Chain A
């Protein structure tokens, strides 16, 4: 090829931001590899045990932003013990020791201690952004360290973390000189917060665009905060309770009229529905609305609210909206791209909160829909086929029928045909979660049609090894496969062991793989870590190879078995 100076290539590569593309670029030739690695600033590590921090630092000297994911996805559902792993401390320590100019750290499903937060806050002068999603292990003391020491902090975003709350003094630890905040999200904190300190912080943060409060922030405080930050684009309310006849409420209403930049709204962790009219003006411009933590809004209040949101592109909601409410969404929110319907009563029996009807209505009314998470009481093949016809743009389709093996209630058939229609129609499908009564047939369809599929979640499905084999053989782009309570065994597991090196990870729990099968796999594949998780097993793990393994998690890695596994994890 023509000679092109490195600087030019580097400049070109600057425009390539997606890590997948940059990974591809680095494989072209050695010189491109060198140029790419010396200019990459943002690094994404999908599995923190696939590589060591030292090797990452060595390869990417300009590292400024690091994203790390720890525990497997099923850890979200209590299938993985808390101390299984995913500790961030060694990473922060390594980054500090090598004097990396870290500016951003984004963690998901990792164990974050107060010590690591403190070390983080003290080691990187230009540290600007901390995003923690579904993490645990820290307290508000760690947050206090971040607040106190990160002089140029722009973003502190805590999403759904389990934080031990030592009450609200951490917010007071932001020094008066800290005026750089752009995004602050502490909605997941359960405890009190120092309201005065919070208000003053907001007052001295002219760049604040995103603010999500926790339940401890009452409506009056919200009003005072909004007075100081009318430029907010993203707002999460705390408590939204008041007497609508009160002066405080009218003040809030008036203040909200001035907040015409708000495009994302969430919160309402506690709410008196009669206060909702205050936000109607905001609703008109909303593109993203998350009411999934607001069970206090339902019925007609919810519907009235939705009817004001004509520009909505993303909606997260509870299933108390009902099929009827979803019909309103379908007729109102024509720009809808992402919908998540969460169960308000997960263990409810016979509570037909939402059914296939709601989904069909949505698919008919919202042509731009491409991302779905839908918890429902039941689903029919006919409905899925209709949905597939109406919306062929799905990239993410996650359906969870609350009764995990429920067939089509009308025909009493498995849902193979319905899901088959989905994968056949949605050629760009990247993520799929199945539920309901399913046989091997659905996996045949998936293997045949889901060419772009990257992540597949299976539960209580299939009849035999054939099912899993269809998937492994058919889905060329598969990266993550997680299976629980399905009758797949050693034959499926060991059929194509090379496949697992093209994937990030495989999880199988309560299936039919035995220790023997796992050991054989591990022996043949040194670049896979095969972990057996046995936390409540009285029998010593290696005693009987023919016993069925409770939980197996395997992942590709360049650094061999990890050293920080707890006693009940055996790495074969």
Chain B
């Protein structure tokens, strides 16, 4: 994979107090739109202060644009099976809709359920995660979290007595694999905590952090992110001398990205960058922190937070930016939306897999 275009990225980030301060036992989870090909080296070099604060399960979402038509072909296929934002706007309490639709295990038949926010009627807004369905491995939405031996760090840790409380071991084992319990105490103790997510964007001079809990729906979050991205692209606009358009910030953004497409990647526990979508949806995406916080909160009845934010240029329907806010299993350490130029190696694989699944 080629090295990132360093000059596009001034790689320092704005650190907002990470979540551990708010009492979550989660590691700082971050969404970062990072530089292409920016494997750990990039992050380390540019984000020293980040890394120091970061813990193991930081999630990095990097938006990487696709460049070049060759890659594009692959990606359009990849993007087809997308994480479609099914916005149930106004219904602040639920944001799970897309996710639920997305990973119905026999997903092939149920694509009608997922709606495309962008309204694009191109083929790109098509079947959602077919491979998710095809893989036929219905996994719990609240994915199996290992039962960690009690809270790490926060809250008085009770010495566990053998066989106490008297719950059948079958029940204990089933429930512990059902959802991680270890963070409950601290979260409950400190009230609702914050759910800061680091969002980085390719080419952006600094990162932003958003508190997911302040948003009641995907729509709100997407608008907020959009605003953030817009301001970046405006800046970029200047530097790249791309004339900005009147009208929506989306189109501006789209123009700036020169018809590139973004695809989501994540870094798994082996340190490899994987194209999201290769792995069935069910196994990829769960953010235990959000799950648990939100379980504590009545108003956020989420078992999966899946969110895709799509911007389409009116003139170039093939151009979409996908920002996906995901939740992770223990095995998924970071998430990144990669630029196509850096993800070339991944794209053909993705395409093949998509073809196989089809």
Question: What is A's interface to B at a CB cutoff of 8 Å?
Answer: 74, 76-79, 134, 160-162, 188, 192, 215-216, 218-221, 239, 241-249, 269-275, 292-293, 295-296, 298-301, 320, 342-351, 375, 400, 402-404, 433, 457, 459, 484-485
30 of the cross-chain contacts (CB-CB < 8 Å) are A77-B164, A77-B167, A79-B162, A79-B163, A161-B170, A215-B138, A218-B104, A218-B106, A241-B100, A241-B103, A242-B101, A242-B104, A242-B113, A243-B104, A244-B100, A245-B101, A245-B113, A272-B96, A272-B304, A293-B174, A295-B295, A296-B142, A298-B295, A299-B297, A345-B184, A348-B181, A349-B151, A349-B155, A350-B189, A402-B165
Closest chain B CB from A556 CB (angstroms): 24
The answer to whether B160 touches A347, judged by C-beta atoms less than 8 angstroms apart, is yes
Q: Could you say which residues of chain B place their CB within 8 Å of the CB of A343?
A: 165, 167
Q: Could you say which residues of chain B place their CB within 8 Å of the CB of A77?
A: 162-164, 166-169
Q: Could you say which residues of chain A place their CB within 8 Å of the CB of B150?
A: 347
- Select which of A274, A299, A342, A484 is within 8 A of B100 by beta carbon: A274
Question: What is B's interface to A at a CB cutoff of 8 Å?
Answer: 86, 88, 94, 96-98, 100-106, 109-110, 112-115, 137-138, 140-142, 150-151, 155-158, 160-172, 174-175, 178-179, 181, 184-185, 188-189, 295, 297-298, 301, 303-304
Bound-complex Cα distance A403 to B159 (A): 10
- Select which of B140, B161, B162, B166 is within 8 A of A269 by beta carbon: B140
User: Which residue on chain B has the smallest CB distance to residue A343?
Assistant: B165
Contact A484 to B163, CB < 8 A, known contacts A247-B112, A293-B175, A300-B298: yes
Closest chain A CB from B71 CB (angstroms): 31
Residue with the highest number of chain B CB atoms closer than 10 Å, among A219, A246, A301, A484: A246
Residue with the highest number of chain A CB atoms closer than 10 Å, among B141, B150, B160, B304: B141
Helix, strand, loop or mixed for chain A's interface? loop
Q: Could you say which residues of chain B place their CB within 8 Å of the CB of A345?
A: 181, 184-185
The answer to whether B167 touches A245, judged by C-beta atoms less than 8 angstroms apart, is no
Bound-complex Cα distance A247 to B175 (A): 30
The answer to whether B97 touches A296, judged by C-beta atoms less than 8 angstroms apart, is no
Bound-complex Cα distance A34 to B131 (A): 67
User: Which residue on chain B has the smallest CB distance to residue A510?
Assistant: B162
Other A-B pairs, 8, CB within 8 Å; known A241-B303, A293-B174, A349-B185: A74-B163, A243-B101, A248-B110, A270-B140, A272-B303, A295-B142, A299-B298, A350-B189
Bound-complex Cα distance A292 to B174 (A): 11
Closest chain B CB from A223 CB (angstroms): 11
Bound-complex Cα distance A375 to B167 (A): 10
Bound-complex Cα distance A403 to B98 (A): 41
Contact A239 to B140, CB < 8 A, known contacts A78-B162, A274-B97, A345-B181: yes
The answer to whether A344 touches B175, judged by C-beta atoms less than 8 angstroms apart, is yes
Q: Could you say which residues of chain A place their CB within 8 Å of the CB of B174?
A: 293
The answer to whether A160 touches B104, judged by C-beta atoms less than 8 angstroms apart, is no
The answer to whether B110 touches A271, judged by C-beta atoms less than 8 angstroms apart, is no
Q: Could you say which residues of chain A place their CB within 8 Å of the CB of B88?
A: 245
Bound-complex Cα distance A200 to B188 (A): 47
Residue with the highest number of chain B CB atoms closer than 10 Å, among A247, A274, A404: A274
Contact A270 to B113, CB < 8 A, known contacts A246-B101, A343-B167: no
The answer to whether B158 touches A349, judged by C-beta atoms less than 8 angstroms apart, is yes
Closest chain A CB from B306 CB (angstroms): 11
Closest chain B CB from A324 CB (angstroms): 10
The answer to whether A274 touches B164, judged by C-beta atoms less than 8 angstroms apart, is no
Nearest first, the 6 closest Cβ-Cβ pairs linking A and B are A246-B113, A243-B101, A77-B163, A299-B298, A270-B140, A243-B100
Bound-complex Cα distance A345 to B88 (A): 32
Bound-complex Cα distance A244 to B179 (A): 22
Q: Could you say which residues of chain A place their CB within 8 Å of the CB of B106?
A: 218, 220-221
Closest chain B CB from A491 CB (angstroms): 26
The answer to whether B109 touches A248, judged by C-beta atoms less than 8 angstroms apart, is yes
Contact A245 to B138, CB < 8 A, known contacts A343-B165, A348-B184, A459-B166: no
User: Which residue on chain B has the smallest CB distance to residue A219?
Assistant: B104
Helix, strand, loop or mixed for chain B's interface? loop
Closest chain B CB from A378 CB (angstroms): 13
The answer to whether B138 touches A216, judged by C-beta atoms less than 8 angstroms apart, is yes
Bound-complex Cα distance A270 to B140 (A): 6
- Select which of A216, A274, A299, A400 is within 8 A of B94 by beta carbon: A274
Contact A78 to B109, CB < 8 A, known contacts A270-B140, A295-B178, A459-B164: no
Q: Could you say which residues of chain A place their CB within 8 Å of the CB of B184?
A: 345, 348, 351
Contact A247 to B165, CB < 8 A, known contacts A161-B170, A220-B106, A241-B100: no
Q: Could you say which residues of chain B place their CB within 8 Å of the CB of A402?
A: 165
Closest chain B CB from A356 CB (angstroms): 17
Q: Could you say which residues of chain B place their CB within 8 Å of the CB of A74?
A: 163
Bound-complex Cα distance A395 to B104 (A): 44
Closest chain B CB from A486 CB (angstroms): 13
The answer to whether A351 touches B101, judged by C-beta atoms less than 8 angstroms apart, is no
Q: Could you say which residues of chain B place their CB within 8 Å of the CB of A459?
A: 164, 166
Bound-complex Cα distance A455 to B157 (A): 33
User: Which residue on chain B has the smallest CB distance to residue A192?
Assistant: B137
The answer to whether B188 touches A274, judged by C-beta atoms less than 8 angstroms apart, is no
Bound-complex Cα distance A74 to B165 (A): 11
Q: Could you say which residues of chain A place their CB within 8 Å of the CB of B140?
A: 215, 239, 269-270
Closest chain B CB from A321 CB (angstroms): 12
The answer to whether A241 touches B161, judged by C-beta atoms less than 8 angstroms apart, is no
- Select which of B110, B114, B188 is within 8 A of A220 by beta carbon: B110
The answer to whether A243 touches B303, judged by C-beta atoms less than 8 angstroms apart, is no
User: Which residue on chain B has the smallest CB distance to residue A80?
Assistant: B163
Bound-complex Cα distance A393 to B252 (A): 72
Bound-complex Cα distance A403 to B162 (A): 13
Closest chain B CB from A390 CB (angstroms): 25
The answer to whether B155 touches A220, judged by C-beta atoms less than 8 angstroms apart, is no
Q: Could you say which residues of chain A place their CB within 8 Å of the CB of B151?
A: 349
User: Which residue on chain A has the smallest CB distance to residue B164?
Assistant: A404
- Select which of B141, B163, B178, B304 is within 8 A of A78 by beta carbon: B163
Q: Could you say which residues of chain B place their CB within 8 Å of the CB of A242?
A: 100-101, 104, 110, 113
Closest chain A CB from B256 CB (angstroms): 33
Contact A218 to B165, CB < 8 A, known contacts A243-B114, A345-B184: no
Closest chain B CB from A125 CB (angstroms): 32
Closest chain A CB from B140 CB (angstroms): 4
The answer to whether A160 touches B168, judged by C-beta atoms less than 8 angstroms apart, is yes
User: Which residue on chain B has the smallest CB distance to residue A238?
Assistant: B138
Bound-complex Cα distance A347 to B298 (A): 22
Bound-complex Cα distance A193 to B184 (A): 33
Q: Could you say which residues of chain A place their CB within 8 Å of the CB of B105?
A: 218, 220, 239
Bound-complex Cα distance A161 to B174 (A): 11
Q: Could you say which residues of chain B place their CB within 8 Å of the CB of A404?
A: 161, 164-165
Bound-complex Cα distance A393 to B125 (A): 61
Q: Could you say which residues of chain A place their CB within 8 Å of the CB of B162?
A: 77-79
The answer to whether B163 touches A243, judged by C-beta atoms less than 8 angstroms apart, is no
Residue with the highest number of chain B CB atoms closer than 10 Å, among A161, A241, A343: A241
Closest chain A CB from B175 CB (angstroms): 7
Q: Could you say which residues of chain B place their CB within 8 Å of the CB of A298?
A: 295
The answer to whether B170 touches A241, judged by C-beta atoms less than 8 angstroms apart, is no
The answer to whether B97 touches A245, judged by C-beta atoms less than 8 angstroms apart, is yes
- Select which of B113, B178, B188 is within 8 A of A243 by beta carbon: B113
Q: Could you say which residues of chain B place their CB within 8 Å of the CB of A375?
A: 165, 167
Bound-complex Cα distance A433 to B100 (A): 42
The answer to whether B170 touches A188, judged by C-beta atoms less than 8 angstroms apart, is yes
Closest chain A CB from B296 CB (angstroms): 9
Q: Could you say which residues of chain B place their CB within 8 Å of the CB of A249?
A: 113
Q: Could you say which residues of chain B place their CB within 8 Å of the CB of A134?
A: 168, 170
Bound-complex Cα distance A464 to B141 (A): 50
The answer to whether B142 touches A270, judged by C-beta atoms less than 8 angstroms apart, is yes
- Select which of A271, A295, A351 is within 8 A of B185 by beta carbon: A351
Q: Could you say which residues of chain A place their CB within 8 Å of the CB of B155?
A: 349-350
Bound-complex Cα distance A343 to B158 (A): 15
Bound-complex Cα distance A498 to B13 (A): 77
Q: Could you say which residues of chain B place their CB within 8 Å of the CB of A220?
A: 104-106, 109-110
- Select which of B110, B164, B188 is within 8 A of A247 by beta carbon: B110
Bound-complex Cα distance A20 to B169 (A): 30
